Structure 1
């Protein structure tokens, strides 16, 4: 049993294998929660523009890059390379840092906008929750990718 799990950690999945391996199964939830952050922030009045512009950049960047990363892995373009395992860890680590900073900025702006209409305030709170859930998913993915990279 230990040899099977070590063997699974020492190779990168391709095709439908991304739907069955531990870190790669998180692509879809990352896309869903990241897309929800993007939609919820875009659906409210963007004020102040600077921190919320960062939140929009992070959510759109991570959504597009995660989608491309999922396509690369599904198509098998990585050719089971050590470099791709390292890049997988690096990208998801960067996404954690980006989403954590965006989530904190969004939470701060939401606290400042308590006087906003009730519907907008609730949308902002939902965006904060989804931003931190996306951060958690990217953190788990980065941790599991680091383990895979180490055993590669």
Structure 2
């Protein structure tokens, strides 16, 4: 009989347990893809400023908050409280909504740049940023669903 390292669904992991349990295993992909959106958008000329400013805000905000959230969970600061499980659902739902809106705005702006031949490098970077924004949205959305299931079992 093999020993398992999985936590019961009615508890919040701490320490390295966040690297082995769902939904907390999604912290690292959220950070990677969110960081890629941040880097790719920042590496181009932010024009027009308003929609791309929103994309930058979302990517930086979610990157910092996800990192802090991961640090709190790994340090055990949640004290296995159902309130933290609810806050986990609320934060990741907000982040999924933010990334969805940022991805749509970025895709709209990127479509407007497709006819400009002298910006083909920027266009390709923006396409990559759009793809990574939607992948980050997917990871945050999966995290919300699994965190809601865990919160319900508290």
TM-score, structure 1 length as denominator? 0.95
1:118 corresponds, among 120, 125, 131, to 120
Cross-structure match for 2:90:
90
Structure 2 Cα separation of the partners of residues 7 and 41 of structure 1: 37
Give, in angstroms, the shift of residue 23 of structure 1.
0.4
Contact 2:7 2:21 in 1 (8 A): no
Output the CA distance in 2 between the equivalents of 1:7 and 1:77: 17
Give the drift of 1:118: 1.2
Cross-structure match for 2:74 = 74
Which structure shows the bigger proportion of residues in helix conformation? 1
SS in 2 for 1:117: helix
* 1:34 corresponds to: 34
Unaligned runs of 5+ in 1: none
Q: Distance in 2 between matches of 1:32 and 1:69?
A: 15
Give the structure 1 partner of residue 10 of structure 2: 10
Count of matched residue positions in the alignment of Structure 1 and Structure 2: 148
Q: Distance in 2 between matches of 1:83 and 1:21?
A: 19
Calculate the aligned-residue CA RMSD, in Å.
1.3
TM-score, normalisation: structure 2: 0.94
Structure 1 stretches of at least 4 aligned residues deviating more than 2 Å after TM superposition: none
Matched, 1:59 2:29: no
Partner residue, 2:150: 148
SS at structure 1 position matched to 2:8:
helix
Tell me the secondary structure at the aligned position of residue 29 of structure 1: helix
- Give the distance between the partners of 2:137 and 2:8, measured in 1 at CA: 25
